[in-house]
Structure 1
Amino acid sequence: MHQSVRAALLALAVTLLALHPALAQDKAPPAPPQAASAPAAARDADKAAAKKIPVSVEHDDTDPLGARLAYRLKELLGRSSLMQPTNKDEKKLVVVVKTKEEFPGRPGLSSIYSVSWLFSSREGALRYFLASEAGIVDSTGIDQAAETILGRTDKLAGTYGYLF
């Protein structure tokens, strides 16, 4: 008879725990905080990596200041936490930089540049025009011009992020 009372009490306890989840949570031992945060941190890192917009910079002109501008733009892009440089055949923003010396008789003084932002879904497919701008840069303004171009790229990535 003692075993039947024990079995009945056990069945009652299981029924109560099933009907009241709050009681079950109070009795469960707490999970270690590091064990719970480690998978969450891994998921957050994966989400951050997935949110980075792939960006390709194209420049094929030969003037020295234009080449420095394109190089600085690629360098800043590599350090960006919002965008990632890529040359893969994938959906990406393409930043096309065209440069010419402002005064051919005085090389290295300043360059005229034009930047066009395009969306490319894959290699060989038609690219879609998003925006453009033009400017003049000298050797002292290369960093500022590259940061301005990268800022505009980030803004366009936010505007057209649904394409990715």
Structure 2
Amino acid sequence: MRHLFRTVWLVVSLLVLAVSPVLAQGPAQQEAKPKAALPQAAPSAPEAAPKKADEAAVKKTPVTIDHDDSDPVGARLAYRIKELLARSALMAPTNRDEKKLVLVIKTKEEFPGRPNLCSIYAVSWLFSSREGSLKYFLASEAGIVDASSVDQTAEALLGRTDKLAATYGYLF
């Protein structure tokens, strides 16, 4: 009998020791634990969630390019800026009525007798909260661009646009 009593006491003690961590947890933790232990149905589901979170974290700045001059080198500059903007991971081209940066690009031939040589450009960065409202001046730049430096100049202007978007990001 004494031997049976010790065996029962040993089994009860081991059972209490095994169950005590579960008893120490609150009811909310006990319910959450089995749910976390369930296997996930599809392996692609966990990969999709971080991608959506990353996209939400990195919001693209809407940008509009305003250029209506007809000199050949200036038109190439404006087109190259639009092309680079479309491929940008930080900015997105837009024509919608929303808060956006507006790049106003004015270009003229440097020498009217030689139209394909160089263009003089002036770029103004404006903030527009909506169509029909007053646009706010942020910065401006002027320079000369020739056919061989169109790509370099376009990249520099978009780099400046990105810096301004970071500086005035609170407006969005």
Q: Give TM-score, length-normalised by structure 2.
A: 0.78
Number of equivalent positions: 152
Query: Does the residue aligned with 1:89 lie in a helix, a strand or coil?
Result: coil
| Counterpart selection for 2:146 from 119, 138, 144 | 138
1:77 to 65, 78, 85: 85
Aligned partner of 1:124 among 124, 132, 138: 132
C-alpha distance in structure 1 between counterparts of 2:30 and 2:126, whole Å: 54
Contact kept, 8 Å, 1:53 with 1:82, in 2: the verdict is yes
Could you list the runs of 4 or more consecutive aligned residues of structure 1 that deviate by over 6 angstroms after TM superposition?
none
Report whether the alignment pairs 1:46 with 2:56. yes
CA RMSD of aligned residues (A): 2.8
Percent of aligned pairs with the same amino acid: 62
Deviations 1:26-78 (A, max 9, x none): 89515439344432332322333xx1000000001110100000000000000
Q: Closer, same or farther in 2 for the Cα pair 1:24/1:79, shift >3 Å?
A: closer
| Aligned residue type for 2:158 | L
Match runs of 1:10-159 below 5 Å: 16-18=24-26, 21=29, 25=33, 29=37, 31-32=39-40, 34=43, 35-48=45-58, 51-159=59-167
Q: Does the aligned pair in 1 maintain the 2:125–2:138 contact within 8 Å?
A: yes
Unaligned runs of 5+ in 2: 1-15
SS at match of 1:141: helix
Shift, 1:24, TM fit: 6.3
| Unpaired stretches in structure 1, ≥5 consecutive residues | 1-8
Query: How far did 1:158 drift?
Result: 0.2
* Per-residue deviation, 1:114: 0.2
Asked if the contact 2:22/2:30 (under 8 Å) is kept, the reply is: no
Between structure 1 and structure 2, the one with the greater Rg is 2
Q: CA 1:58–1:25 in structure 2 vs 1: closer, same or farther (change >3 Å)? A: same
- Asked if 2 retains the 8 angstrom alpha-carbon contact of 1:17 and 1:23, the reply is no
TM-score relative to the length of structure 1: 0.82
Q: Displacement, 1:15?
A: 5.5
Aligned partner of residue 26 in structure 2, secondary structure: helix
